[in-house]
Amino acid sequence: MGPAHCTEKKEDRVCYAYDAAASAYLPDAVVFPQNAKQISEILKLANEERFAVIPRGAGSGMTGGSVAVRRGVVLVMTRLNRILNIDKNNLIAFAEPGVVTGHFHKAVEQQGLFYPPDPASSEFSTLGGNVAECAGGPRAVKYGVTRDYVLGLEAVLPTGEIIRTGVRTAKGVVGYDLTRILTGSEGTLGVITRMTLRLLPLPETIKTITAFFDKIDAAAETVSEIIRHRIIPRTIEFMDNASIRCAENYLNIGLPTEPEALLLIEVDGTEAETASAVNALELLCLSLGAARVETAKTKADAANLWKARRAVSPALFQYGPHKINEDIVVPRSNIPDMVRKISELRDKTGLFIASFGHAGDGNIHFNIMLDKKNKTELEKADAAVDALFDYTLELGGTISGEHGVGITKSPYISREIGSAELHLMKKIKVVFDPGGILNPGKIFPE
């Protein structure tokens, strides 16, 4: 790699010892490769010398997926940051994993095209990390998640071979779908070095409305009713009162802090389609208990609302030095049940608990703010997470909608995945990584 792109200095290694999950594991070295060939040579060396290699994008993951739990070398992918081609004729793009997702959004939109996956971290997370975690985001309710837009990959296997998977066409069913196996594998099966991504035409018009509710149950019930009325917004975001107050205290943009909840709803399409959808949504929300409904008059007004929604997660640190951040998903019709359960846990524990997220697809982010040095608080928080996960599975949901498993959720994976299925997954890992050198200690309990 050369001294400019490989470091063993402690002050450098500390910078890559943690991600957004806030658990620190100091690696032995940090390297910054520029191409697949360099990564291949590093992985071959790792197999010979028996050291771990941990792929890393921007380090914005919430479950510890990019930390060096068994020391080794952190492989930082940010130098592979080129958008290689945007093909307007075939609605596809070719990009490297270090491209910041928000930059990619802007680049394709300048060409009149649209890449729907939009995690809340899109201004700093990278496409490679999004693919590795199968990131979602607010627009998933209408457009799906990252895996729905990955047509093909170039990746380096843990043994050093460079493979190319998938197609650049709308259809393709030759052989096993290795693209889908790698997408969402959390950097445990291969290092992604290039992606073929599906694009859509850019919608003509976007309208944003906000519905404020004095009763949180009414907001939760409204989510299901919107879909039942055959209206498919591109986003239906939910914020409880704690989240609203938190965002307003952080940004001071004039959000009212009295409502128990709000829904941030966005529709897109032609001018006629969006006008019709906005009218229907306003009437429906008011009929179901919204105290008031407002439509953003300008793009700046809409941007302010999204700024508030995206600010909730970092703003929560006003209320405690540590955060437990879970992203459960339940069937949309069970959102009212989950909202009531969260309120019950808040009352029972006395902890500061905020819930917000992508209600349109049942994905609720459940956040507990606490001081982990306080043993009593920590015990209450752990019990609340246990209760939340059990209830999520009881409702037919999943304990992770978009954050992955990493290390923080691996102790719970057997609650959702059966022993036969887990055994099969572990065998897949061995086939791809017989030496166990790529991102070890992730997904499966130690």
pLDDT at site 373? 92
pLDDT at site 59? 95
Domain with CATH 3.40.462.10 in the chain: 205-394
Query: What is the token pair recorded at 85?
Result: 């081609």
How far apart CA 328 and CA 234 sit, in angstroms, is 20
How far apart CA 388 and CA 238 sit, in angstroms, is 18
pLDDT at site 417? 97
pLDDT digit string (tens) for 131-154? 999 999 999 999 999 999 999 999
Mean pLDDT of the chain: 95
Question: Is residue 228 predicted with pLDDT exceeding 80?
Answer: yes
Nearest one of 320, 408, 358 to 61, comparing CA atoms: 408
Q: What pLDDT band is residue 23 in, cutting at 50, 70 and 90? A: confident
How far apart CA 399 and CA 393 sit, in angstroms, is 7
Strand order in the sheet with 352-358: 290-295, 205-213, 261-269, 235-240, 352-358, 363-370, 322-329
Question: Is residue 446 predicted with pLDDT exceeding 80?
Answer: no
CB-based contact 61:19 (threshold 8 Å): yes
Question: Is residue 116 predicted with pLDDT exceeding 80?
Answer: yes
CB-based contact 88:113 (threshold 8 Å): yes
pLDDT digit string (tens) for 402-425? 999 999 999 999 999 999 999 999
May I ask the CATH class of domain 3-76?
A: alpha beta
pLDDT digit string (tens) for 307-337? 999 889 888 998 889 999 999 999 999 999 9
**Predicted structure pTM score:** 0.94
Query: What is the token pair recorded at 107?
Result: 């680049």
pLDDT digit string (tens) for 51-106? 999 999 999 999 999 999 999 999 999 999 999 999 999 999 999 999 999 999 99
pLDDT at site 36? 98
Question: Is residue 130 predicted with pLDDT exceeding 90?
Answer: yes
Domain with CATH 3.30.465.10 in the chain: 83-201
Q: What pLDDT band is residue 120 in, cutting at 50, 70 and 90? A: confident
Specify the CATH number for 83-201; select among 3.30.465.10, 3.20.20.140, 3.40.630.10, 3.20.20.70: 3.30.465.10
* pLDDT (mean) for 214-231: 93
* Superfamily holding 205-394: FAD-linked oxidases, C-terminal domain (3.40.462.10)
Q: What number of residues does the chain have?
A: 446
pLDDT at site 361? 92
* pLDDT (mean) for 121-133: 96
Question: Is residue 181 predicted with pLDDT exceeding 90?
Answer: yes
pLDDT at site 178? 98
pLDDT at site 21? 87
Question: Is residue 397 predicted with pLDDT exceeding 80?
Answer: yes
Number of C-alpha atoms within 13 angstroms, CB side, residue 19?
Answer: 27
Q: What pLDDT band is residue 344 in, cutting at 50, 70 and 90? A: very high
* pLDDT (mean) for 225-233: 92
pLDDT at site 409? 95
Question: Is residue 260 predicted with pLDDT exceeding 90?
Answer: yes
Domain with CATH 3.30.43.10 in the chain: 3-76
pLDDT at site 314? 86
CB-based contact 328:399 (threshold 8 Å): yes
372 versus 152: which is more confidently predicted? 152
How far apart CA 269 and CA 234 sit, in angstroms, is 10
pLDDT digit string (tens) for 269-312? 999 999 999 999 999 999 999 999 999 999 999 998 999 998 89
